[in-house]
Amino acid sequence: MMRAATIGRFRRTLPAIAVLCSMLPAAPAHAFGVPFKGNEVEARVGAMIDNMSLQQKFEFIRVNDGHMLPLLPSQGLAGTTAYDSSMGVHVGLGTFGTQFPSQSALAATWSINRAQQFGLAIGYETRQAGAQQMLSPGLNIFRTPYNGRNAEYVSGEDPFLGAVFGPAITNAIQAQGIQAAAKHYVANDQEANRHLTNVTVDERTLREIYLPGFESTVKNASPASVMCAFNKINGDYGCESHHLITEVLKGEWGYQGFVMSDFNSIHHPQKAAWAGADLDMPSALAFTDQTMYDLVYSNQVPMVVLDDKVRRNLRAMVSFGFDKALPVPTALDTAYGDAASLAVAREGIVLLRNDSGKGSMPVLPLAANARVAVIGDMAQQEPASPFGTAWAPTNRHISELSGLQQLNVDPANVTFIPGLSLNPKEAVWYQPGSTAQALNPGLKAEYFANTQLAGSAAVTRIEPGVAWNFMTGANVTASGSTSLSGFAATPGAFSARFTGTIKPTVTGEQVFKVRADGAYKLWVNDELVLSSDGAPIAGDVVNAYSASGKTAKLKAGSLYTVKLEYRRLSGAYFPVLGSINGIQMSWASLAAPDSLANYDAVVVAVGKNAEYEGEGADVAFELPEYQSELIRNVAKVNSNTVVVVHGGGPSEMGGWAKKTAAVLQAWYPGQFGGQAVAEILYGTVNPSGKLPVTIGGVAGDYPTSAGYGAIADYQPSGNFADAATNPAKKTLAYSEGVFMGYRGFDKSGTKPLYPFGFGLSYTTFAYGNLALSSSKLAAGATVNATFTLTNTGTKAGYEVAQLYVRPATAAVARPKQELKGFAKVFLQAGETKTVSIPVDARSLAYYTTATGAWQVDAGKYTIHVGSSSADLPQKAGLTVQSALQLSTASSNPLPAPVQEAVQVAAGRAY
């Protein structure tokens, strides 16, 4: 049976078309500052509540019909529709409009302007698509490189980044008259076993690391909703934590919006209702009529608690004008989205390495007439996105191969090397029995009307390759295509055997890749290379992941047998959101041909996509498909090897980065990512991205590695839904405390491969003359750190100036330094600008559980300014003469000037 959570996802995708089509013309776009303020809104909401029956109140705190906020016909309220998510407007099982770069790429821009541009564009396209809510921004933390949803989070590994980007995006979305939803509250920083894991984390760590992004978004943007998380936090599910929702979010922070469940994430209705969850969505499994009647009449949920939920949900409707009319869908216009997507890609790509290779100058930028070899299937495909709710196919795109060809003076100078690039549609196969003198294309395919490959095959035929998609019923390859006709059992349970021959073009190991929604075994020359039992490794959203194996050394020109056996046992896999129902197989050489030495440079596109990374499961830190080995082999042949790495976060680079000439972290760069990558490689755009995360040499370098352990500890195979027999760990301790990310690297003295905040440019910058507006910081005051920034190179470009605070001494264990400010500055060659970054008492504070407040110890602090956490040439002293205590209610994670910067000016809505 399909799990309830999966059913809920399907229900959620059904737009209320009839309701939307009956709506009046769109209401004026909501302006910042309107939500939840004003006597008119409260009076209107109060009148509605006074005229609602108990049954209607129950119906207004749950939804199961494809809406988000429910229908309330007695008050003339049409229900609202919500769309996900981070890389595009996710409408049903498809997308509408632009594919944006991942949120991790946006974080790498370190630009409030880009955050607002993204928010305005995705809010605009949400409105065009006919929805009223966008489930964004994602504010969880890059705690571990394993997290399958790192692509979706704009905080990077630093709470101050989230505290800036969260409200900037939220204000921009809501400026378009669209409700935003800050998610996932809180500590949903890993996907493995996300429905069952209990995160144990101390209060100080929560307050200093994991909550500031949400706190800042609430205090500086008033999001319409906050989505509570799947996981437990200190024993309570995210939607059932009275402390986190009622005491902190609604109490201390004064949040007036509504708290929605993540999809079917309420386990105990009374606990969730009492904790402060306001909306049970999308399947209304918990807040049912009978359950709520029993809870209210037994006073386990007092009427005042029920009314508060209804009031918050109504307030969201009225404050956005949705009680008067809902915006109607309009024709797609991606002009704003296109501009935002390209701008974020250009500024989010991080240049990590640029060495001389085989020349005397850095290999990048490439000459416009350079002869370039391109390796990696990702370079010729449309820009990728991760599996799950962030999956966003492009409506149009520029591949990296196309981008490179377009910017070269002669497209023929850029050559794709298919023999080193895995692609099931282009893999070359020969029939069994072929000889070197007579090579017959294709594979022998035997299809069995059972799952055991038993008896005689129901159908035997020659296939051009193995690139089956059962949703479309087609096996499409470069050399031909076939359909399911002639074998009716194919879409259901069945088994198949594919046999054939390969002829390597390069002597050496070969890599084979299989992606399937069932069990399989692969033999090459009678050696078992790859196998899978077909059991899923996730729960409600289940991806058909790819896996790779490699052969022994094979000789170029010789023939080798291949046999793939496949058993499709059930329809357990989720055939949308980046997954497949099907079976695919490809192969390529891991050895590099000597001919690569003839090129001026080799560009290798590597990383992860929806086949390896996304919602529901965590991901290995290592690159898939033996790509690290491929990079090393290519770099031995051509020292001008340039590597472009894709994924929601960085992958392991320690074994090959210093063997290459250049490395770019491209994240998921969006639909124009190919153009942005090419512009940076050729130098028409000067790279300006900075790492919002630390890149360790290996996974064990990360301070969270001891607390997380191995992915296998949390990611079971088999019947994930059965918690009673689930072998996965149920407790995940955030044992590193506040010392995660660069804070932990600093504490342990472990040198990262690339430090937090790092990123190269094609020009150089110099910092000077740091001075503070005051050497003493008093309560309520803001001190400006002012310095000069000079472009000392020959090319115009952006620099991200970063400010870190270091306490001279501390009453408690504190990080060596913490990011508390940044500014992205554009400078012409030779230009100097004066830059000012503010700090205040909260910038110096730590949380103390003894007082339940933010504490600033008396003493000396050092303000450091520079280009990354490891390069801070300027410093100045700041003194706090008397200890300060800051209220959790009145203090703000952002200094006053930054609070103003994250607002959206009137008139900017499209």
Residue range 865-876, pLDDT digits in tens = 999 999 999 999
pLDDT of 709 > 90? The answer is: no
pLDDT score at 486: 62
CA nearest neighbour of 209 among 197, 218, 201, 217? 201
Question: Where does CATH 2.60.120.260 sit in the chain?
Answer: 443-589
When pLDDT is averaged across residues 600-614 and rounded to a whole number, the result is: 98
The half-sphere exposure of 321 on its side-chain side, counting CA atoms within 13 A, is: 18
- Which pair of tokens denotes residue 371? 């002869």
Split at pLDDT 50, 70, 90, the class of 727 is low
298: CB partners within 8 A, 6+ apart: none
What does residue 228 show for φ and ψ, rounded to 5 degrees?
-85, 155
Of residues 306 and 437, more confidence is placed in: 306
Considering only the C-alpha atoms of the chain, give the largest distance between any 2 of them, rounded to a whole number of Å. Answer: 89
pLDDT, tens digit, for every residue of 883-892?
Answer: 999 999 999 9
CA nearest neighbour of 783 among 686, 698, 880, 874? 880
pLDDT of 516 > 50? The answer is: yes
User: Could you give the C-alpha distances from 147 to 142, 202, 542, 616, 715, in angstroms and in order?
Assistant: 7, 21, 16, 10, 12
CA angle 318, 321, 324 (to 5 degrees): 95
Architecture of the domain spanning 349-417+597-701: 3-Layer(aba) Sandwich (3.40)
CA nearest neighbour of 544 among 566, 496, 576? 576
Distance CA 372, CA 379 (A): 13
pLDDT of 822 > 90? The answer is: yes
When pLDDT is averaged across residues 111-131 and rounded to a whole number, the result is: 97
Q: Would you mind telling me the total number of residues written for the chain in this entry?
A: 910
pLDDT score at 660: 98
Average pLDDT over the chain reads 92
pLDDT of 121 > 80? The answer is: yes
Report whether 149 contacts 391 (CB < 8 A): no
What's domain 765-901's superfamily in CATH? Immunoglobulins (2.60.40.10)
pLDDT score at 32: 34
Q: Give pTM, 2 decimals.
A: 0.95
- Bridge-partner residues for 375, per DSSP? 604
Q: Locate tokens 């009716």: which residue? A: 488
When pLDDT is averaged across residues 691-714 and rounded to a whole number, the result is: 90
DSSP 743-788: HHHHHHTPPPSB-TT--B-SS-EEEEEEEES-SB--TT-EEEEEEE
When pLDDT is averaged across residues 149-174 and rounded to a whole number, the result is: 98
pLDDT score at 130: 93
Question: Where does CATH 2.60.40.10 sit in the chain?
Answer: 765-901
Q: Right CATH number for 443-589 from 3.30.70.870, 2.60.120.260, 3.30.70.3280, 3.40.190.10?
A: 2.60.120.260
Report whether 649 contacts 104 (CB < 8 A): yes
When pLDDT is averaged across residues 629-653 and rounded to a whole number, the result is: 98
Segment (H or E) for 616: none
Report whether 169 contacts 137 (CB < 8 A): yes
pLDDT score at 9: 35
Q: How far is CA 838 from the centre of its chain?
A: 30
Specify the fold of 29-324. TIM Barrel (3.20.20)
What does residue 808 show for φ and ψ, rounded to 5 degrees?
-65, -45
Distance CA 46, CA 43 (A): 5
Q: Locate tokens 């769109």: which residue? A: 26
Question: Where does CATH 3.40.50.1700 sit in the chain?
Answer: 349-417+597-701
Report whether 282 contacts 9 (CB < 8 A): yes
Split at pLDDT 50, 70, 90, the class of 16 is very low
Distance CA 206, CA 266 (A): 22
pLDDT score at 36: 54
CA nearest neighbour of 647 among 387, 339, 374, 352? 387
What does residue 744 show for φ and ψ, rounded to 5 degrees?
-75, -40
Question: Where does CATH 3.20.20.300 sit in the chain?
Answer: 29-324
Distance CA 35, CA 551 (A): 61
Residue 902, helix vs strand vs coil: coil
